Amino acid sequence: MTLTFRCIADLRAGLTESPVWDDRRGTLFVCDIPGKAIIEIDLAEGVRRQWSFEAEVTALGLCDSGALVVALARKVIVFDPDTETRRDLWTGYDEPETSRLNDGKVGPDGAFWIGAMDGRADRKPIARLYRVDAQGQARAMEGGFAVSNGLAWSPDGRSLYHSDSRGPWIDRLDFDPATGEATNRRRMVDLDEATGRPDGGACDADGDYWSAGVSASVLNRFAPDGTLRARIPVPVPAPTMPCFCGPDLKQIAITSHRQVDAAALEDAPQSGSVFLAEAPVSGTPVARMKGL
């Protein structure tokens, strides 16, 4: 399978992540992690607005109100892009100073799920996955990760996908959308550098899981049982996360990073930018955070 990607935001940032489609505004929000910024992108016209923060911005989600729930390096805040007001939601992150929050997404339970990562070069499995509700109450749901990543839910909300980029592997858990309980964690697939270490993920309407193969310049499309259905080449060496977007969720955007060798960067100078293609299948809508 091949898709035709075009660059819709020529950012060339160190690391763009966490693309989120806002169906009300009709725009895409992404993070520039080292740039400590959130960027809003029109799919046809490019960058619309940008906001700076005091720390690395690692993940985003939408709230019922239209505000954004935002993971900074060591806390979660609520940010309104229209009024530019911001307030702390959860400040209880207590992992080592060398660690930070990483991939996050709002689940079908209406809570913000956010994983952490060991920030040292020699990463150890010390990080956890948290569930943060609208009252700012957080629970550690799982642990033992080097780089928690790849959060996505099946169309019926009954399966949670989660990866460890340094495992490297993808797990599948049973999920209860009413209570937010995630149980019965089991290995879906083990991966390697050549297949593509799993970075961010998304689910399509058919129930397949799309994983950014950050080490292999591909999107990997997996069936729920871990069968690799397709390896889709992308125009940059290090894609970081897919996101189904557009009015019918029939397009797919990818973010990327520039932390690659000089030869790869010369071949793909737009690394760190955001790209868009027509998708062969519609995506699963991502929930909004309830109560905010």
Q: Is position 283 within any domain?
A: no
Supply the pLDDT for residue 51.
Answer: 98
Domain membership flag for residue 285: no
Distance CA 151, CA 251 (A): 19
**Mean pLDDT calculated for residue range 79-93:** 97
User: Quick one: pLDDT at residue 259?
Assistant: 86
Query: CB-based contacts of 89: which residues, under 8 Å, 6+ apart?
Result: 69, 75, 76, 77, 78, 132, 136, 292
pLDDT at 262: 87
**Average per-residue pLDDT for the chain:** 97
Name residue 27's amino acid.
Answer: T
pLDDT of res. 44: 96
- Establish whether 100 is an annotated binding residue: yes
Rounded to 5 degrees, what angle do the CA atoms 155, 158, 164 make? Answer: 90
- Dihedral over Cα of 253, 257, 260, 262: its sign: positive
The domain in which residue 33 lies consists of 6-278
199 annotated as belonging to a binding site for a ligand: yes
Residue 269, amino acid:
P
Whether 219 is covered by a domain: the verdict is yes
- Contact yes or no for 290/250 (Cβ under 8 A): no
- Would you call 1 helix, strand, or coil by DSSP? coil
> Looking at residues 139-157, what average pLDDT do you find?
96
Residue 184 annotated as lining a ligand binding site: no
DSSP 263: H
- Active-site positions read 199
Q: Is 150 left (phi over 0), alpha (psi -120 to 50) or beta?
A: left
| Alpha-carbon gap, residue 130 to 108, rounded angstroms | 15
Domain-embedded: residue 287: no
Please tell me the total count of domains within the chain: 1
For residue 265, pLDDT over 90 is answered with no
C-alpha–C-alpha distance, residues 28 and 165, integer Å: 24
CB 136 within 8 A of CB 89: yes
pLDDT tens track for 218-243 = 999 999 999 999 999 999 999 999 99
Lookup result for tokens 């799920």: 113
CATH number at residue 28: 2.120.10.30
- b/e per residue, 179-215, with b = 16+ CB within 10 A? ebebeeeeebbebeeebbbbbbbbbbeeebbbbbbbb
The span from the CA of 195 to the CA of 86, in Å, is 40
State pLDDT tens for residues 45-66: 999 999 999 999 999 999 999 9
153 within a domain of the structure (yes/no): yes
84 is in an annotated binding site: no
Residue 151 forms part of a structural domain: yes
Q: How far apart are CA 223 and CA 81, in angstroms?
A: 36
Give a yes or no: residue 284 inside a domain: no
pLDDT value of position 229: 97
Q: Residue 198: inside a domain, yes or no?
A: yes
Residue 154 has pLDDT above 90, yes or no: yes
Q: How much of the chain exceeds pLDDT 70, in percent?
A: 100
